[in-house]
């Protein structure tokens, strides 16, 4: 049986699709082709990207601003720069309701005896609070079932903090598309699925907020409205692959402003020595406390193992993970 083929509705070019593709953007003219699912092509927006050369410049600025990388700059070599647009669903969800919760707090009182001596006594009390929730959340989530790991969540957070310029994809002509053209990853979740996820996520955001500030949630009665202003946004994401000695590392940049959002970095020799010293220090702590007796041996073993294990793992890693930080100047679902 001959495989089913799809062509662009505007220019007739062949489209690369998968069984789960909802919309396929033509790589030649940028036209969004709706293939299946519930999605309005007029609600697809794209964030224009910087050029490949500008991303390379942003990488070298990152190197200059990094304490460790700057000292090994002459040993670094860019191997490849890869850019693509990743699809995300964005929308606003209004939440409203009541949350009652309990917090254990320390209460202290100072007493003065007949001789004028003071003493402070503290005890734990349970305090109960009630808060009314009434706000609109801005939510962003991947429109793909499988996403690349490094930098994806960081990209969402960076996008959520700012307001990069968005252009309606249908408003781009072929000339406009040629200026910002990149590979576009296929969209695999439609608007119905996106709204369901946003509705669930809005409730989770509020619940997690109160979980973090309380010892126990006693009543949670918060409702989320239908998501509004729901749109598919194509975010430009660039990955710079660079070489140090015989290893390859990555630096991920937001394409609209050239900010580094995540990176793996080589570990210089002096930092390895630092981590090895920490591991040895952990062993010495365990030995010193362990000499205090049976109880001390157990405490020393645990404490020493934790400290030595942490620094030992850093040595074996051979690289650092860096996140965030502007270098051009200056939410998983």
**Other beta carbons within 10 Å of 298:** 12
| pLDDT value for 136 | 97
- For the segment 190-210, the average pLDDT, to the nearest whole number, is 95
**Other beta carbons within 10 Å of 6:** 13
| pLDDT value for 115 | 82
Render pLDDT for 75-120 as a digit per residue (tens, 0 to 9). Answer: 999 999 999 999 999 999 999 999 999 999 988 888 888 788 888 8
Evaluate if residue 301 carries a pLDDT over 70. Answer: no
Evaluate if residue 293 carries a pLDDT over 60. Answer: no
| pLDDT value for 116 | 80
Evaluate if residue 314 carries a pLDDT over 50. Answer: no
Contact of 235 with 155, CB cutoff 8 Å: yes
pLDDT, averaged across the chain: 82
Evaluate if residue 299 carries a pLDDT over 70. Answer: no
Strand partners for 45:
168, 233
Evaluate if residue 59 carries a pLDDT over 50. Answer: yes
> Which carries the bigger pLDDT value, residue 275 or residue 78?
78
Evaluate if residue 2 carries a pLDDT over 50. Answer: no
Evaluate if residue 240 carries a pLDDT over 80. Answer: yes
Evaluate if residue 242 carries a pLDDT over 80. Answer: yes
| pLDDT value for 291 | 58
Of 230, 150, 236, 141, residue with least CA distance to 185: 236
pLDDT class for 324, splitting at 50, 70, 90? low
| pLDDT value for 305 | 54
pLDDT class for 283, splitting at 50, 70, 90? low
pLDDT class for 4, splitting at 50, 70, 90? low
Render pLDDT for 164-184 as a digit per residue (tens, 0 to 9). Answer: 999 999 999 889 999 898 988
């Amino acid at each position: 049986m001959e495989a089913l083929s799809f062509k662009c509705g505007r220019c007739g070019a062949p489209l690369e699709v998968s069984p789960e593709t909802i919309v396929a953007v033509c790589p030649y003219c940028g036209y969004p082709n709706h293939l299946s699912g519930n999605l309005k092509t007029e609600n697809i927006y794209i964030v224009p990207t910087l050029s490949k050369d500008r991303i390379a410049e942003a990488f070298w600025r990152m190197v200059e601003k990094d304490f460790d990388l700057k000292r090994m700059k002459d040993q670094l070599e860019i191997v490849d720069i890869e850019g693509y647009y990743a699809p995300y669903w964005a929308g606003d969800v209004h939440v409203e309701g009541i949350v009652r919760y309990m917090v254990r707090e320390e209460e202290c009182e100072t007493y003065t005896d007949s001789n004028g001596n003071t003493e402070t006594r503290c005890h734990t009390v349970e305090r109960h609070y009630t808060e009314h929730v009434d706000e609109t959340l801005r939510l962003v989530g991947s429109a793909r079932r499988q996403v690349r790991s490094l930098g994806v969540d960081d990209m969402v957070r960076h996008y959520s903090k700012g307001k990069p310029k968005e252009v309606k994809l249908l408003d781009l002509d072929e000339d406009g598309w040629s200026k910002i053209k990149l590979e576009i990853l296929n969209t695999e979740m439609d608007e119905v699925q996106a709204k369901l996820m946003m509705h669930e996520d809005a409730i989770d955001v509020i619940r997690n907020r109160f979980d973090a500030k309380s010892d126990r949630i006693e009543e949670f009665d918060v409702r989320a409205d239908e998501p509004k202003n729901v749109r598919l946004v194509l975010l430009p994401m660039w990955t710079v692959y660079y070489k140090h000695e015989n290893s390859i590392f990555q630096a991920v940049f937001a394409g609209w402003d050239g900010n580094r959002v995540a990176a793996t970095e080589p570990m210089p020799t002096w930092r390895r020595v630092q981590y090895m010293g920490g591991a040895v220090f952990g062993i010495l702590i365990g030995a010193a406390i362990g000499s205090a007796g049976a109880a001390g041996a157990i405490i020393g073993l645990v404490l020493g193992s934790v400290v030595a294990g942490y620094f030992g793992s850093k040595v074996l890693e051979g690289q650092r993970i860096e996140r965030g930080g502007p270098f051009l100047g200056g939410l998983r679902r």
